[in-house]
Amino acid sequence: MEDITLKIKEKLEKGEVVNLKIKVIANAKINSLEEYTDEILKLRINKPAVDGKANKAIIEYLSVQFDVPKSNIIILKGEKNSLKDLLINPKSHII
């Protein structure tokens, strides 16, 4: 996890917008981010995939991990799916 997290942090520190493809495992015991395939990361989140709770927890977790405001993280695709495309903008509010 740390290797991929560091790579993403480095891109964000350079001011680069980062696109992430993640596979979400809801109701996990702990929150964690790890490599899944070359193109997809696995994010274990300790909230259920009910009423947007997991999506909210995903944004909160990534916000803390990458030190960006929650408003700078957007789910582009997969709001109601375990496979999600996310965009993280390090500099300013996206919308």
- The residues that bridge with 43 in the sheet, in sequence order, are 24, 33
Non-local CB neighbours of 36 within 8 Å, separated by 6+ positions: 23, 42
pLDDT at 92: 67
Supply the pLDDT for residue 2: 61
Task: Give a three-class secondary structure readout of the chain.
Answer: CHHHHHHHHHHHHCCCCEEEEEEEECCCCCCEEEECCCCCEEEECCCCCCCCHHHHHHHHHHHHHHCCCHHHEEEEECCCCCEEEEEECCCCCCC
Per-residue pLDDT at 85: 97
User: How high does pLDDT run on average in the chain?
Assistant: 91
Q: Torsion-angle region of residue 67: left (phi > 0), alpha (psi -120 to 50) or beta?
A: left
- State yes or no: pLDDT of 95 exceeds 60: no
Q: What pLDDT is attached to residue 24?
A: 96
Lowest model confidence (mean pLDDT) among 12-21, 35-44, 67-76 = 35-44
pLDDT higher than threshold 70 for residue 1: no
Task: With cut-offs at 50, 70 and 90, classify the pLDDT of residue 93.
Answer: low
**Per-residue pLDDT at 94 exceeds 70:** no
